[in-house]
Amino acid sequence: MSGQPIKKRVAIENVAFALGIICMILAAGVVVLYFSLSLQIPLLHSQIQSLTTQNNELEEIVDLEKSIIWKSSRMVTQPAGYWTHWNFSANYAGYVEVWVETSTSSNTYVRVIYSSYGVRYDSQLSVGASGKAVFPILPSSNIVIGVGNTNSVDEATETVTITYYY
């Protein structure tokens, strides 16, 4: 019977050794996992910043806080009874502001024409020798915006700024 305590002690030492190895393997796994996760943190922060930027831009669009100047202080001249127009496209619903800064005619008008989602829009507003006209805009690849005059004899010259708000 004197051999059994030695066998128990050897068995306990073997179990302790095996548990020690298992603990070291687990500790190494935890260290590897920690370093792997710590490398992902900057990437996740970058993704959060990118998504926050995208979200802020979309909120600005929903609130119509973004704008593009399509024409800035553009001077045009046309014969009596004619209009000058430009083509634009818009990706978002919004509105366009056409500012006739100056005109040599008190018979100046602004006109906007486009088709979108089965809706044909064609509107004309008189602005006189200077003024602003505002029109709703739906997404369209062919928006026609122009200024003209209803003069019967004299040509007209206008200075125009067109801004799209979305």
**pLDDT of 16 higher than 90:** no
β-pairing verdict for 140-149 and 94-103:
unpaired
Sequential DSSP letters for 58-70? HHHHHTT--EEEE
What gap in Å lies between CA 153 and CA 43, rounded to an integer?
A: 68
pLDDT band for 9, please (50, 70, 90 cuts).
Answer: confident
pLDDT tens per residue, range 61-98: 999 999 999 999 999 999 999 999 999 999 999 999 99
Residue 28 is predicted with a pLDDT of: 87
Kindly state the average pLDDT of the residues 97-122: 98
Return the higher-pLDDT residue of 12 and 95.
95
Are residues 110 and 161 in contact, defined by beta-carbon separation less than 8 angstroms? Answer: no
pTM, full prediction: 0.75
Q: What's residue 2's pLDDT? A: 58
Average pLDDT over residues 121-146: 98
